[in-house]
Amino acid sequence: MSAADQMLRAYRRMMARSGEQVMIRRGEGSAGRNIGVRARVTTFDAHEVVGDIVQTDTKLIVMAEDVTFDPPFQKGDRVMMHGRTLAIVGPPNDKTRRVGGVLIAYEFAVRG
């Protein structure tokens, strides 16, 4: 089993234990489309508050295999969770959660 396969299995276990279902929304009104994704919802550590990130933002780690939009993220996409609609802050990071060139998960901030 490759390192990427091992990491993907580990992420799936983590999401099963501590993840939750959130919706990513693309578009407006009846033309809008929602997809449900598994996400780990957490806060940013002080050393992660850089650039556009502020202490009150929420960090989401989303399984890449759940994101069926093409392209995966666009400006204006939103996240719906805990009864609120939140804006995605900046483009999701698809670099730090790759193993052997395989994208395992996206990491990004939401605000609202």
**pLDDT tens-place string over residues 52-77:** 889 899 999 999 999 999 999 998 99
The closest of 64, 68, 104, 109 to 90, measured between CA atoms, is 109
Strands 105-111 and 58-63, sheet pairing = antiparallel
Q: Which residues, in sequence order, are CB contacts of 9 under 8 Å at separation 6+?
A: none
Count of structural domains within the chain: 1
List the CATH number of the domain containing 65. 2.40.10
Task: Give the chain's end-to-end CA distance (angstroms, integer).
Answer: 41
Q: What tokens appear for 19 in the block?
A: 């993840």
What was the pLDDT predicted at 21? 96
pTM of the model: 0.89
What's the whole-number average pLDDT of the chain?
93
Q: Are 112 and 84 in contact (CB under 8 A)?
A: yes
Domain of residue 95, residue span? 3-111
- The token duo for 47 is 């050393």
Residue linked to tokens 């609609």: 85
The reported pLDDT for the residue numbered 105 is 96
Measured in degrees and rounded to the nearest 5, phi and psi for residue 104 equal -95, -45
Residue 93: the pLDDT is: 85
